[in-house]
């Protein structure tokens, strides 16, 4: 459906996109995940035809889009801050793309009604867009982008400005909606939760380059680099020297997966792999931070300062959680140890 | 897989490069095309006439006579005029700021009944023809004026009359420029400072004042510019003792036919104005810098507490005495005959041709002339100014910024020079317009264009680029996107701009007085001619015509006030 091929965009001396390549298959939802300034939005603008790439190609259904202006690409783009037309009401906003395609009045009204039902906003047709709440504007923006049945729907930080509970509800709805409609989606976000919930496939970007791609599970289980690991929120990264099925680190010996090549590398230990024991056992640590996260598992995040080596993050349940400044021992569970390639 | 594509993608897609260049070139061509009409207009109807008259003054027998330059510049008379021009402008500016700033605050932060109407009323003087302002003050401060009758005080040949008239004239500039921004400043910024321990005054000085400073500077410069080039007010109130450069240029040109002196004075004025405009452009650019603005309607509150009420009342009193009284006197004088009774004698006299030969036609015809000329001038100004504003919307490069400043030049150039330049430059083929009616609207449009650009530009620039992009992605071509997104948003600004252009065209005096044909005078020209003649009937008719002109201006402004855009322009 969409193929991005070696696209580079420079703004003055700054390279926003550096030979980026990316494929989106028909009916697939791909999420581009990266911190702000990693070039995600620029990527969408290139695909939409709002930004000329310096080099590289954008192909839609196999056709090079170079020289085709934005209004002839038949794409949908939902802007980060919606960009609803303030002078039009909801009906006219949603019908805008249909009018541009010269859809008949009756047909277009029927479709607007259908879409407003779809996004869960029946009966707001004649409201002014300024009278809508943030979440409602978001839904109208989605309806407007979907109305002309775009070949590809692009979402720029789709749920960025919404409060948490609304965001989580909308995420589930969106995922169901896209599956039902068979929409091809390219979304960008800096929020890993959003990306994991929405995507069939993830693309992690860093400073204009693609750092890793894969299914959410693949990326979660095997971060391709320390950057990806840290961006996903994993902080327990350490230099290691692998010998057999163990690796020597400043935290002591850590079990590594079978087949790990011998020699120096970097290891990631997920917080769930940091197992608390009695104070006399394993690596001795002091609790320096303790945050109750709540949630279904009533989890507690812990910050541990070991006797040697960098700080550790651990997680445990509330009943098992030690107090601040308590001394604990730590052993590492092999299943949650990941060897980071490339050092 | 993807990573492979990434690596392979290093090879750039070559064949597309020329196509991209065409796209960029097309954008440049569009901008150039938009600028072509305004550029041609200014070259033909501004630069050419001004250059022609300056050239004629400085050339003798086909040679440049630059000796005259030093001669005129070292003449004590010239230095005296220059000195007076500068200091009266500085004094007027200071006085205007002093009197109008409390007003700006009141209009920005207080909500009171009749505020809209009052804002329209204080703007009336700004678009009033200088001649009318002059005669209004004459009626208040002059011989036989209200002050003369009550206390025997006459100010009409003192500099105070000039200064007060300038305040009257420019009050609205400060209210609109400073007050407009003030109303949009988020009050929470000051509140944040208060919470951090700043006193009320300190919070204002450290938070609000710096935010207002660029607008203040811009307002001060505009007032200085308008008073620096003041003509009608000084011509009528100044008497023989006081002359600005503009008045002196008129005297040298029309009275003494000393074109060389006039040319040098024009150049001096031109240089001074260019410097002022550069300063203004610089301060405007700083003003557009990042300020978090909010809806003006949310910031105004009912005044509470004795202090706020006292402030509101004193501002209203100042407006009543300084702005409304002269207008009232004007109307009163137009209705009062010498025996002290009131009637429509002077108005009736406007419909007859007098025997003294002041006019070839009934003065009332000037009303029709003025409306027709102003309508034509408005069409021209909106067309030229609208295209210029569209070209300037996308900020780019020094060239465009230079164009921006160029558009303001007519405001500061001697209208007398422009008018006389029209006469001598546009009188031979291929451009022989001397006997054409279009000459007057063209000259008036020159003054209208800067207003159109200044009103349209902030609104056009405020249109979020991404709205256009949203329209494009939904399938709207650039032209369609402009029609669907920009036009509805700027429609009101366009109407406001047209109204301003209409009002200033209606009041244009300095250039029109040269080029209006004797058988078709405009209202200000007719007023000027009446005032130039002795006799009660002439004076009364001048007041009557001024009142008519004032009412026409006020009506168009009241209509404008209803249309006020959310983001106000700079006037």
How far is B374 from B380, CA to CA, in rounded Å?
10
Predicted confidence (pLDDT) at residue B45 exceeds the cutoff of 70: yes
Residue of A nearest to B4 (CA): A21
pLDDT for B38? 84
How far is A246 from A252, CA to CA, in rounded Å?
10
Phi-psi category of residue B533: left, alpha or beta, with phi > 0 → left and psi -120 to 50 → alpha: beta
**B198 at A interface, C-beta within 8 A:** no
How far is A130 from B203, CA to CA, in rounded Å?
32
User: Minimal Cα–Cα distance from A165 to chain B, Å?
Assistant: 28
How far is B69 from B94, CA to CA, in rounded Å?
32
**Once rounded to an integer, what is the mean pLDDT over residues A234-261?**
88
pLDDT for B395? 56
Here the contacts of B426-430 (C-beta below 8 Å, separation 24 or greater) are B426/B45, B426/B49
**B19 at A interface, C-beta within 8 A:** yes
Predicted confidence (pLDDT) at residue B429 exceeds the cutoff of 70: no
Q: Is the peptide bond before B27 cis (omega within 30 degrees of 0)?
A: no
* Share above pLDDT 90 across residues of chain A, in percent, rounded to a whole number: 31
The H or E element spanning position A286 is strand A283-294
CA distances to B103, B321, B453 from B179, in Å: 8, 21, 20
Residues A71, B2: C-beta atoms closer than 8 Å: no
Is-contact B260 B68, C-beta < 8 A?
yes
How far is A250 from A307, CA to CA, in rounded Å?
9
**Once rounded to an integer, what is the mean pLDDT over residues A189-207?**
91
pLDDT for B25? 63
How far is A183 from A175, CA to CA, in rounded Å?
10
pTM: 0.69
Mind spelling out the 3-state secondary structure of B508-569? CCCCHHHHCCCCCCCHHHHHHHHHCCCCHHHHHHHHHHHHHHHHHHHHHHHHHHHHCCCCCC
Query: What number of C-beta contacts closer than 8 Å exist between A and B?
Result: 124
Report the residue of A23, A83, A218 to disrupt the B interface, i.e. the one with the largest count of B CBs within 10 Å: A83
- Average pLDDT in chain B: 76
CA distances to A54, B85, B540 from B533, in Å: 73, 27, 11
pLDDT for B61? 61
Residues B484, A210: C-beta atoms closer than 8 Å: no
Report the residue of B475, B478, B479, B492 to disrupt the A interface, i.e. the one with the largest count of A CBs within 10 Å: B475
pLDDT for A318? 86
Count CB-CB contacts under 10 A for residue B39.
Answer: 18
Q: How confident is the model at residue A200 (pLDDT cuts 50, 70, 90)?
A: very high
Q: Where are the domains of chain B?
A: 26-329+344-564
pLDDT for B15? 41
Report the residue of A85, A149, A154, A210 to disrupt the B interface, i.e. the one with the largest count of B CBs within 10 Å: A85
Q: What is the DSSP letter of A260?
A: P
How far is it between the farthest Cα atoms of chain A? 78
Residues A56, B9: C-beta atoms closer than 8 Å: yes
Tokens representing residue B226 in the block:
């308008």
Residue B451's nearest CA partner among B516, B386, B514, B394 is B386
Predicted confidence (pLDDT) at residue B17 exceeds the cutoff of 60: no
**Once rounded to an integer, what is the mean pLDDT over residues B371-391?**
87
**Once rounded to an integer, what is the mean pLDDT over residues B195-209?**
75
Q: Is the dihedral of CA A86, A91, A93, A96 positive or negative?
A: negative
pLDDT for B60? 65
Residue of B nearest to A97 (CA): B474
Predicted confidence (pLDDT) at residue B397 exceeds the cutoff of 70: no
A43 vs A12, residue with greater confidence = A43
A64 vs B340, residue with greater confidence = A64
Q: Name chain A contacts of B477, Cβ cutoff 8 Å.
A: 69, 71
- Average pLDDT in chain A: 88
| B203-235 pLDDT per residue, tens | 777 778 877 877 788 788 878 888 888 877 887
pLDDT for A97? 87
B555 vs B561, residue with greater confidence = B555
Q: How confident is the model at residue A32 (pLDDT cuts 50, 70, 90)?
A: very high
Is-contact A157 A190, C-beta < 8 A?
yes
Q: Is B408 helix (H, G, I), strand (E, B) or coil?
A: helix
Predicted confidence (pLDDT) at residue B13 exceeds the cutoff of 70: no
A185 vs B308, residue with greater confidence = A185
Residue of A nearest to B476 (CA): A71
Q: How confident is the model at residue B3 (pLDDT cuts 50, 70, 90)?
A: very low
**Once rounded to an integer, what is the mean pLDDT over residues A145-152?**
90
Instruction: Pick B26-329+344-564's CATH classification: 1.10.357.10, 3.40.50.620, 1.10.3720.10, 3.40.50.720.
Output: 1.10.3720.10
Residues A67, B16: C-beta atoms closer than 8 Å: yes
Q: How confident is the model at residue B272 (pLDDT cuts 50, 70, 90)?
A: confident
Q: How confident is the model at residue B4 (pLDDT cuts 50, 70, 90)?
A: very low
A281 vs B354, residue with greater confidence = A281
| B83-135 pLDDT per residue, tens | 888 888 999 999 999 999 888 888 888 888 877 778 777 877 876 777 778 77
**Once rounded to an integer, what is the mean pLDDT over residues A315-328?**
88
Residues A23, B6: C-beta atoms closer than 8 Å: no
B292 vs B366, residue with greater confidence = B366
How far is B554 from B124, CA to CA, in rounded Å?
6
The minimal CB distance from B8 to the residues A7, A21, A23 is found for A21
Phi-psi category of residue B125: left, alpha or beta, with phi > 0 → left and psi -120 to 50 → alpha: alpha
Residue B267's nearest CA partner among B119, B468, B484, B50 is B50
Q: How confident is the model at residue A203 (pLDDT cuts 50, 70, 90)?
A: very high
* Share above pLDDT 90 across residues of chain B, in percent, rounded to a whole number: 3
CA distances to B178, B183, B216, B326, B568 from B212, in Å: 7, 11, 6, 30, 15
pLDDT for B571? 45
| B228-265 pLDDT per residue, tens | 888 778 877 776 778 888 888 888 777 777 777 778 88
pLDDT for A153? 93
How far is B235 from B237, CA to CA, in rounded Å?
6
Residues A23, B5: C-beta atoms closer than 8 Å: yes
**Once rounded to an integer, what is the mean pLDDT over residues B381-385?**
89
| B138-186 pLDDT per residue, tens | 777 776 666 677 776 666 667 788 888 889 888 888 887 788 777 777 7
Tokens representing residue A250 in the block:
């400043």
User: Minimal Cα–Cα distance from A333 to chain B, Å?
Assistant: 31
């Amino acid at each position: 459906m969409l193929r991005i091929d070696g696209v580079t965009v420079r703004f003055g001396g700054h390279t926003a996109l550096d030979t980026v390549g990316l494929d989106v298959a028909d009916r697939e939802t791909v999420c581009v995940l990266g911190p702000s300034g990693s070039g995600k939005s620029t990527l969408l603008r290139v695909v939409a035809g709002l930004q000329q790439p310096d080099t590289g190609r954008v192909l839609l259904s196999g056709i090079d889009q170079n020289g085709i202006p934005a209004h002839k690409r038949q794409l949908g783009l939902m802007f980060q801050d919606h960009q609803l037309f303030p002078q039009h009401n909801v009906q006219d906003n949603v019908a805008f793309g249909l009018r541009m395609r010269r859809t008949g009045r009756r047909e277009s009204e029927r479709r607007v009604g259908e879409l407003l039902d779809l996004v869960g906003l029946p009966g707001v047709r004649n409201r002014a867009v300024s009278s809508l709440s943030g979440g409602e504007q978001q839904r109208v923006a989605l309806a407007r982008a979907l109305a002309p049945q775009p070949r590809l729907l692009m979402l720029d930080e789709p749920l960025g400005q919404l409060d948490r509970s609304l965001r989580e509800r909308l995420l589930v709805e969106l995922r169901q909606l896209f599956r039902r409609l068979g929409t091809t989606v390219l979304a960008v976000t800096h929020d890993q939760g959003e990306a994991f919930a929405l995507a069939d496939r993830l693309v992690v970007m860093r400073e204009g380059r693609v750092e890793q791609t894969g299914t959410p599970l693949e990326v979660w289980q095997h971060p391709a680099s320390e950057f990806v690991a840290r961006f996903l929120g994993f902080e327990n990264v350490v230099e290691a020297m692998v010998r057999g099925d163990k690796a020597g680190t400043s935290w002591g010996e850590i079990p590594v997966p079978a087949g790990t090549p011998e020699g120096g590398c970097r290891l990631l230990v997920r917080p769930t792999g940091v197992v608390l024991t009695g104070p006399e056992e394993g690596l001795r640590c002091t609790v320096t931070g303790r945050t109750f996260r709540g949630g279904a598992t009533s989890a507690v995040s812990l910050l541990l300062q070991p006797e040697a080596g960098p700080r550790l993050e651990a997680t445990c349940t509330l009943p098992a959680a030690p107090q601040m400044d308590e001394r604990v021992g730590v052993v590492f569970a092999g299943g949650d140890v990941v060897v980071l390639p490339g050092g | 897989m993807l990573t492979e594509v990434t690596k392979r993608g290093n090879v750039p897609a070559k064949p597309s490069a020329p196509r991209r260049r065409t796209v960029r070139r097309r954008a440049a061509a569009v901008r150039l095309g938009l600028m072509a009409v305004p550029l041609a207009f200014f070259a033909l109807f501004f630069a050419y006439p001004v250059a022609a008259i300056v050239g004629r003054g400085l050339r003798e027998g086909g040679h440049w006579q630059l000796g005259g330059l030093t001669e005129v510049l070292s003449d004590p008379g010239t230095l005296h005029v220059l000195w007076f021009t500068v200091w009266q402008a500085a004094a007027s500016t200071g006085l205007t700021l002093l009197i109008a700033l409390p007003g700006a605050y009141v209009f920005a932060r207080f909500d009171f009944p009749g505020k809209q109407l009052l804002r329209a009323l204080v703007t009336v003087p700004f678009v009033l023809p200088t001649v009318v302002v002059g005669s209004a003050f004459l009626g208040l401060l002059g011989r036989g004026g209200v002050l003369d009758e009550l206390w025997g005080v006459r100010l009409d040949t003192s500099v105070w009359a000039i200064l007060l008239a300038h305040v009257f004239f420019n009050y609205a500039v400060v209210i609109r420029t400073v007050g407009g921004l003030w109303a949009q400043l988020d009050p929470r910024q000051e509140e944040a400072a208060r919470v951090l321990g700043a006193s009320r005054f300190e919070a204002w000085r450290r938070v609000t004042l710096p935010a207002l400073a660029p607008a203040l500077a811009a307002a001060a410069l505009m007032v200085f510019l308008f008073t620096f080039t003041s003509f009608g007010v000084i011509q009528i109130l100044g008497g023989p003792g006081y002359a600005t450069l503009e008045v002196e240029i008129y005297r040298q040109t029309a009275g003494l036919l000393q074109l060389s002196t006039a040319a040098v004075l024009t150049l001096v004025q031109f240089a001074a104005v260019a410097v002022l405009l550069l300063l203004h452009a610089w301060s405007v650019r700083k003003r557009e810098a990042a300020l978090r603005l909010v809806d003006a309607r949310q910031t105004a509150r009912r005044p509470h507490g004795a202090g706020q009420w006292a402030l509101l009342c004193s501002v209203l009193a100042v407006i009543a005495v300084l702005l409304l009284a002269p207008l009232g006197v004007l109307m009163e004088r137009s209705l009062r005959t010498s025996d002290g009774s009131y009637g429509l004698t002077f108005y009736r006299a406007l419909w007859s041709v007098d025997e003294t030969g002041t006019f070839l036609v009934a003065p009332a015809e000037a009303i029709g002339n003025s409306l027709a000329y102003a309508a034509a001038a408005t069409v021209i100004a909106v067309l030229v100014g609208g295209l210029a504003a569209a070209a300037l919307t996308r900020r780019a490069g020094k060239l465009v910024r230079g164009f921006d400043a160029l558009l303001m030049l007519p405001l500061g150039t001697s209208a007398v020079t422009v008018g006389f330049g029209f006469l001598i430059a546009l009188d031979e083929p291929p451009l022989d317009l001397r006997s054409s009616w279009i000459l007057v609207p063209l000259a008036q449009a020159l003054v209208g264009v800067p207003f159109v650009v200044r009103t349209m530009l902030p609104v056009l620039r405020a249109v979020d680029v991404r709205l256009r992009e949203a329209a494009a992605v939904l399938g709207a071509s650039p032209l369609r996107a402009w029609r669907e997104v920009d036009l509805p948003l700027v429609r009101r600004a366009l109407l406001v701009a047209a109204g301003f252009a209409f009002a200033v065209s209606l009041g244009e005096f300095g250039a029109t007085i040269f080029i209006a044909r004797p058988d078709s005078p405009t209202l200000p020209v007719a007023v000027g001619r009446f005032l130039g003649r002795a006799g009660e009937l002439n004076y009364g008719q001048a007041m009557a015509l001024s009142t008519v002109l004032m009412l026409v201006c006020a009506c168009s402004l009241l209509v404008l006030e209803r249309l006020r855009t959310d983001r106000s322009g700079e006037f």
